[in-house]
Amino acid sequence: MSTLAVLRGIIESQMDISFTGDTTPTTTSVTDYINKSILKIARDIKPQEFKNATPIDHSITSGTNTVTLNASILYPEIIYYFSSTGTGRQLIHRSLQQLIVLEGSNNFFNSANKGDPSYFAIRGNSIITNKYFTHTSSTGIKIYSIDVPTTLASDSDTTTLPDSYDFLIAYMASALAYQAIDDQDNQMKFDILARRERSEINVDLDFNDSDIIQMDPSVFRVSGRDFRDPSVLFGGN
């Protein structure tokens, strides 16, 4: 895992420039580009290093169906809901539109539609469930997530990512630097290098963490027919 100083040194080598207080880009701006690049990597690639091993508790309030995410969470991955009796169940992710369709708009927007939810949607920095909570609890929701990367500020600050990400960070930060000074040729050069480096990381089995696509039976329900009805897949009225 590399320090901010090491990452900045790689960028200096790639851009063939020595950053000082009065250069363009400055040391401060390059540090900002590095942090922005790491944040984008966390959001797009979702490396294991940013996945929390201990779930974060979130409180729920009776009569509501919205939970504000902890500020440390960049993206929620696995969410568990705990009923008033302490029974836990994993909530299934759906888009907000799907959530409304599954629950029915009259029920979804009715706060009297209380019960144990089965689905959630992400909206801004909150999650929304398909049913309104029946109880209040400080630990009603537990979330495994991709965490917000720690901002690097001092030269000795160390990134959470292993060394294998150093050049991806450097290429992305260099592209941002050239974008800022409107050097389109070099920006394109480093964008291409970043895409290639990211592709190599994605296909490397040591770092590949692609999610398994899980099919929910509700996906195959057509006009009320169950997914076991072959006409759902092969046609029919």
The answer to whether the peptide bond before residue 25 is cis (omega within 30 degrees of 0) is yes
Q: What is the pLDDT of residues 201-212, one digit of tens each?
A: 876 645 455 555
SS3 content of the chain, % helix, strand, coil (to 5): 40, 20, 40
User: Tell me, what DSSP letter sits at residue 31?
Assistant: H
Helix ranges (DSSP H) in 89-183? 96-103, 105-108, 166-180
pTM above 0.95, yes or no: no
Q: Quick one: pLDDT at residue 201?
A: 84
CA 84 to chain centre: 29
**Pair type for strands 88-90 and 92-93:** unpaired
In whole angstroms, give the CA distance from residue 166 to residue 170. Answer: 6
Q: What is the pLDDT of residues 138-196, one digit of tens each?
A: 999 999 999 999 999 999 999 999 999 999 999 999 999 999 989 999 999 999 999 99
Provide the token pair at 28. Answer: 């401060």
H/E stretch holding 36 reads helix 27-44
| Mean pLDDT computed over 84-108 | 95
Q: Quick one: pLDDT at residue 141?
A: 97
In whole angstroms, give the CA distance from residue 234 to residue 153. Answer: 58
